[in-house]
Amino acid sequence: MKIFLAQQNYHIGNFEANTNKIIAAIEEAKKQGGDLIVFSELSVCGYPPRDFLEFNDFIEQGLACIDRIRQVADTIGVLVGCPSRNPKIEGKDLFNSAYLLYEKEIKGIVHKTLLPNYDIFDEYRYFEPAYEWNVLTFKGKRLAVTICEDIWNLGDDPLYRICPMDELIKHQPDIMINLSASPFDYIHEDGRKGIVRRNVVKYNLPMVYCNTIGSQTEIVFDGGSLVMNANGDLLTEMPYFTESMASVTWNDDGTFTDGVVRTADTIHTADPLPATFEPLKNIEKIHSALILGIRDYFGKMGFKKAIVASSGGIDSAVVLALACEALGSENVSALLLPSQFSTSHSVSDAEQLSKNLDNHYDIIPIENVFKAYEGALQNVFSGLPFNVAEENLQSRIRGAMVMALSNKFGSILLNTSNKSELATGYGTLYGDMAGGLGVLGDLYKMQVYAVARYINRDKEIIPQNIIDKAPSAELRHDQKDSDSLPEYDVLDPILYQYIERRQGPKEIVSIGNDPALVTRILKLVNNNEYKRNQFCPIIRVSPKAFGVGRRVPIVGKYLS
Amino acid sequence: MKIFLAQQNYHIGNFEANTNKIIAAIEEAKKQGGDLIVFSELSVCGYPPRDFLEFNDFIEQGLACIDRIRQVADTIGVLVGCPSRNPKIEGKDLFNSAYLLYEKEIKGIVHKTLLPNYDIFDEYRYFEPAYEWNVLTFKGKRLAVTICEDIWNLGDDPLYRICPMDELIKHQPDIMINLSASPFDYIHEDGRKGIVRRNVVKYNLPMVYCNTIGSQTEIVFDGGSLVMNANGDLLTEMPYFTESMASVTWNDDGTFTDGVVRTADTIHTADPLPATFEPLKNIEKIHSALILGIRDYFGKMGFKKAIVASSGGIDSAVVLALACEALGSENVSALLLPSQFSTSHSVSDAEQLSKNLDNHYDIIPIENVFKAYEGALQNVFSGLPFNVAEENLQSRIRGAMVMALSNKFGSILLNTSNKSELATGYGTLYGDMAGGLGVLGDLYKMQVYAVARYINRDKEIIPQNIIDKAPSAELRHDQKDSDSLPEYDVLDPILYQYIERRQGPKEIVSIGNDPALVTRILKLVNNNEYKRNQFCPIIRVSPKAFGVGRRVPIVGKYLS
């Protein structure tokens, strides 16, 4: 039996485009003599559809697409994902389902059992879990079809009280097939291969695992679909961060024999999240995720042009370089906004960067506008010293200036705030925190430097001086980040323990950090939730990003 | 048996303050000869604790408080809410629990079964549902203790496949006691009394229902705790939007005889959400919720002073009046920011308003700053006509100016955007969309007018001219809201169908709306999700507010 995997990039709610893409893959597989083609989770509507699922109209549109796809599923079996209605009155109204279409009929439906409801996931908000299990029969074979999370409940601390494959195995399946929408983070690929291997070994069955790719606002799906024999040998590993189709031949003895046979990676028996911060971990993949994140945000929103406020600092340099790679230099412009507090190298470094990248840039000094504000405010501020009000004002002038160009020329402002700044509140709301997409919001400062070095891997794109100089917001004379914050090699590992690893103050101190510093940093993080709450979506590359995956009370008093 | 209900206002994560408040109520009830005192859901840590629950340290602190409270629960029984640990390996690590403390011991624990995971609720993110049920025995009586949602699964379309009271009734309880954290919205009170009545009638048992009050960022809890006899008579209804204690005597025949006996309201057999928009519905309660929302935001964040950008329009007038009532006029200042496009009445109306309210105000014309921007931008904008870029720029100058005062004087900017504007994207990011708290973000424009008239119920606080004149953003000459949007009495009912009632385009057209207009408005709503995503928390007064309770993809293509 020839089985195709279609690793595709869907657009949430764009039923027409998604269905066309699915049908095109089916036609291609039919041409190549395919028996069965497998798509990813909720392929018809895109994942995650979120509260669109609350609209009856949205569900109807999905079901209409299943009807369209059914018409082309004549000589080939199709496994495709779409919400279905729960026929029972009790429980939520929808299931997260996989449809088996064949001979122009719906031959079977299975529903997802384990509904992830942590981090970025909200599936229990919409779906009723499956509570009956059976295999799907196709050409005499018994398929154990599961959806994403359904295969993840193995391990020492299972999150769910039920394990759907334990139920399905009672029906003597011949193969496991999993439809996934499994997002990227810099450790998740390891965990994913490990969990597939655990399943094939435990149930002594081969598995076809089909994942989606593409970025959906903040969540990047990385693909890497795979086929594994029951002995744990990895037969096919599809590419990361790109659409792809692959086929494998499933023999009557139950093994796959084509594909590149290699021994699968080690099984991870515990959470692969490193116990200590590793700023260099998987930087190449993070870079790919950021490129895809920018490209898909623009492509799916229907935008073409980007603008970046280019300060001569490391963050804006990295964003500008990433934007040029993702969108093409001709679609990216930089705006330099020097003030009386800018050092001379701020402008020259930013100019050199744009010359290296070959992107358009403008320079607009903000000093006169700042003076006009000072004039307007002089009565109200009379006798009061320069302080954070004037510092923030400069940042907001820059925000308003770059937004004026954004509005005038239809270019989308890319935000340059990094995770260390967002964590500690070291940024100005409506100033440098403005923008449509947070490119670096899930990278600690040390990771930003690592990406910069990766960008320069073949030649100097980001001027070395930008990498070498001490970080500064340049909102007053001789200001340095380190005036307000500890050095990043101290700060970032503490933030990692608190944010990624959810360690409390006692645990963070116990691994050798200064108690007063830990208290101060955790307080900063919690007290600045109100700022992050108004921040744009952040491209997620870590297992715990700010944004939809981290939900902390603003009005609270905990470690604050 | 004398039973006390303690309807209290907690501060999330502020274990010390919450526990002190709980202990004070216990001591008071002991003085008054109480046998049992009932608190609300998760009283020890405050509700909703959200991702604080992921910190082991947070759970430890809660359990330490239970230990403290246990020491004073000597001669009185105490029912108090706190997270507890799931001793089994399978399933999530926590339960949402109620503790029965008595004779300085933990006499029993019950866990919540039905974990709401819709709208603003995320409980399945943290908690394992209960799967075993038993009554708690206290002084020879059998108490069926449930937590909030547990009693809500009656009706024609139950959300859950299990009903915990159906299990508990098998253990012959003598009474139902429910610990709640049930938020306000302008229809929820009706639904709440209806559901309590359904329960007492179905199970033929009296119920003690204890709710929390207080605002937690965007969610307002309104109290209204109550005691109902098995025949449906309402014995005690505690006040709304304020802390309170009450006691009832539970007789040996199973009835309550003290309290004000009156027949309970009609049982609502269906969703009480009106089929059509009713802009005047429960305006008095909405007003109370907004006052509490402002007051608690400031009190719990440790803020004292507020600032409002006062335009002479209806929205800022209502916000200013509400702020003065909530915080005291002496803590509220207004900033008038006229431009060359402001009409003369904009300033005079805003001045008259502040005189009526007796709050401080400043006037800072923005024309010179706007000219400075024009000068800075003249090369880049050369030859291009005045458009939305310049309109937004004025709004952003105002945003930066009022934030400068906010930063300089430590006053928090109250945002004045209403729900009609937020829905359609009729506002400027970093301009009039700036602020720490969205006071009117859950009120359609017609409801804003209704609140204005309510504020003026005894005397003219908001000048009548502000109420009478046509709404305008005044960002260009002779601009009116109606240039860009339909009249609000057309717009608001369509938005209500889409947002509150989740009706699709077909349904909204079918009740008599113009198809092209419906398409245009729904497209506006969906295309402006990116703006709302960067908006501050909104005080929630409706059953479907923008913010945490409405989660829509930004990068999507549905009705857009």
Which one is predicted more confidently, B343 or A258?
B343
* pLDDT on residue A264: 43
* pLDDT on residue A260: 53
Whether residues B228 and B291 share a domain: the answer is no
* pLDDT on residue A157: 87
Residue A255 lies in a domain: yes
Answer yes or no: are the C-beta atoms of B46 and B17 closer than 8 Å: no
Q: Which of residues 495-514 of A touch B (CB under 8 A)?
A: 502, 504-507
B401 at the A interface (CB within 8 A)?
A: yes
* pLDDT on residue A460: 98
Kindly report, residue by residue over A280-321, the tens digit of the pLDDT: 999 999 999 999 999 999 999 999 999 999 999 999 999 999
HSE value, Cβ hemisphere, 13 Å, CA-based, for A219: 27
Whether residues A201 and A335 share a domain: the answer is no
Catalytic residue among B21, B65, B112, B285: B112
Whether residues A183 and A330 share a domain: the answer is no
- Asked about A41 being catalytic, the answer comes back as yes
Whether residues A247 and A306 share a domain: the answer is no
How many Å apart are CA A502 and CA B57, to the nearest integer? Answer: 9
> What phi-psi label fits residue B11: left (phi over 0), alpha (psi between -120 and 50 degrees) or beta?
beta
Domain termination residue (choose one: A235, A263, A291): A263
Whether residues B236 and B331 share a domain: the answer is no
- Strands (DSSP E) contained in B123-232 are 136-138, 141-147, 175-179, 207-210, 213-216, 219-222, 226-228
Residue A547 lies in a domain: no
* pLDDT on residue B258: 67
pLDDT of residue A269 exceeding 80: no
How many Å apart are CA B146 and CA B133, to the nearest integer? Answer: 10
How many Å apart are CA B412 and CA B305, to the nearest integer? Answer: 6
Answer yes or no: are the C-beta atoms of A453 and A287 closer than 8 Å: no
Whether residues B239 and B315 share a domain: the answer is no
Quick one: what percent of chain A has pLDDT higher than 90?
A: 89
φ and ψ at B535, to 5 degrees?
Answer: -85, 155
Provide the residue type at A475 as one letter. Answer: L
The DSSP element (H or E) to which B314 belongs, if any, is: helix B314-327
Q: From the CA of A392, how many Å to the nearest CA of chain B?
A: 8
- Using CB atoms, which residue from B217, B429, B505 is nearest to A553? B217
Kindly report, residue by residue over A360-413, the tens digit of the pLDDT: 999 999 999 999 999 999 999 999 999 999 999 999 999 999 999 999 999 999
Q: From the CA of A400, how many Å to the nearest CA of chain B?
A: 6
**Which residue of chain A is at minimal alpha-carbon distance from B158?**
A90
Inter-chain residue contact A17 with B557, CB threshold 8 Å: yes
A155 at the B interface (CB within 8 A)?
A: no
Residue A558 lies in a domain: no
Which pLDDT tens digits describe chain B residue by residue (560 residues)? Answer: 999 999 999 999 999 999 999 999 999 999 999 999 999 999 999 999 999 999 999 999 999 999 999 999 999 999 999 999 999 999 999 999 999 999 999 999 999 999 999 999 999 999 999 999 999 999 999 999 999 999 999 988 899 999 999 999 999 999 999 999 999 999 887 788 889 999 999 999 999 999 999 999 999 999 999 999 999 988 889 999 999 999 999 998 888 876 554 544 444 444 578 999 999 999 999 999 999 999 999 999 999 999 999 999 999 999 999 999 999 999 999 999 999 888 888 999 999 999 999 999 999 999 999 999 999 999 999 999 999 999 999 999 999 999 999 999 999 999 999 999 999 999 999 999 999 999 999 999 999 999 999 999 999 999 999 999 988 888 888 888 888 899 999 999 999 999 999 999 999 999 999 999 999 999 999 999 999 999 999 999 999 999 999 999 999 999 98
B90 at the A interface (CB within 8 A)?
A: yes
Kindly report, residue by residue over A324-346, the tens digit of the pLDDT: 999 999 999 999 999 988 888 89
Domain termination residue (choose one: B431, B451, B485): B485
Residue B67 lies in a domain: yes
Cβ neighbours of B407 in A, within 8 Å = 387-389, 392-393
A64 at the B interface (CB within 8 A)?
A: no
A79 Cβ partners below 8 Å, 6+ apart?
A36, A37, A38, A39, A98, A99, A100, A101, A143, A145, A177, A179
Domain termination residue (choose one: A234, A263, A292): A263
Q: Is the pTM of this model over 0.90?
A: yes
Whether residues B72 and B197 share a domain: the answer is yes
Q: What DSSP designation does A475 have?
A: S
Whether residues B119 and B233 share a domain: the answer is yes
Q: From the CA of B340, how many Å to the nearest CA of chain A?
A: 15
Answer yes or no: are the C-beta atoms of B444 and B419 closer than 8 Å: yes
Residue A559 lies in a domain: no
Structure tokens at B258: 């003290």
Residue A550 lies in a domain: no
Which stretches of A126-172 are DSSP H helices? 164-168
Q: Which of residues 247-286 of B touch A (CB under 8 A)?
A: none
Structure tokens at B285: 């309660």
Inter-chain residue contact A161 with B90, CB threshold 8 Å: yes
Whether residues B233 and B290 share a domain: the answer is no
Residue B249's SS3 state is strand
- Asked about B371 being catalytic, the answer comes back as no
A404 at the B interface (CB within 8 A)?
A: yes
* pLDDT on residue B33: 95
Whether residues B143 and B207 share a domain: the answer is yes
Structure tokens at A534: 């108004």
Angle between helix B515-527 and B488-499 (nearest 10): 60
Tell me the sheet residues that pair with B360.
B333
A368 at the B interface (CB within 8 A)?
A: yes
Structure tokens at B543: 């059953």
* pLDDT on residue B478: 83
Inter-chain residue contact B17 with A91, CB threshold 8 Å: no
How many Å apart are CA A501 and CA A522, to the nearest integer? Answer: 13
Kindly report, residue by residue over A27-77, the tens digit of the pLDDT: 999 999 999 999 999 999 999 999 999 999 999 999 999 999 999 999 999
pLDDT band at A156 (very low <50, low <70, confident <90, very high): confident
Which one is predicted more confidently, A391 or A253?
A391
pLDDT of residue A266 exceeding 60: no
Whether residues A26 and A137 share a domain: the answer is yes
CB-count burial class (<10 Å; 0-12, 13-18, 19+) for B459 = exposed
Inter-chain residue contact B404 with A91, CB threshold 8 Å: no
* pLDDT on residue B259: 59
A106 at the B interface (CB within 8 A)?
A: no
Residue A18 lies in a domain: yes
- Using CB atoms, which residue from A49, A368, A376 is nearest to B553? A49
A297 at the B interface (CB within 8 A)?
A: yes
Inter-chain residue contact A400 with B301, CB threshold 8 Å: no
B386 at the A interface (CB within 8 A)?
A: no
The DSSP element (H or E) to which A111 belongs, if any, is: strand A105-111
Q: From the CA of B196, how many Å to the nearest CA of chain A?
A: 20
Whether residues B393 and B296 share a domain: the answer is yes
- Using CB atoms, which residue from B50, B159, B373 is nearest to A551? B50
Kindly report, residue by residue over A531-542, the tens digit of the pLDDT: 999 999 999 999
Structure tokens at A525: 């993080």
Residue A250: how many other CB atoms lie within 10 Å? 21
Residue A145 lies in a domain: yes
The CATH number of the domain holding residue A79 is 3.60.110.10
Q: Which domain holds residue B203?
A: 2-263
- Asked about B112 being catalytic, the answer comes back as yes
The CATH number of the domain holding residue A317 is 3.40.50.620
Q: From the CA of A139, how many Å to the nearest CA of chain B?
A: 35
Which of B259, B247, B218, B317 minimizes the C-alpha distance to B76? Answer: B247
Structure tokens at B324: 């003065």
Q: For chain B, what is the domain count?
A: 2
How many Å apart are CA A300 and CA A18, to the nearest integer? Answer: 12
The DSSP element (H or E) to which A547 belongs, if any, is: none
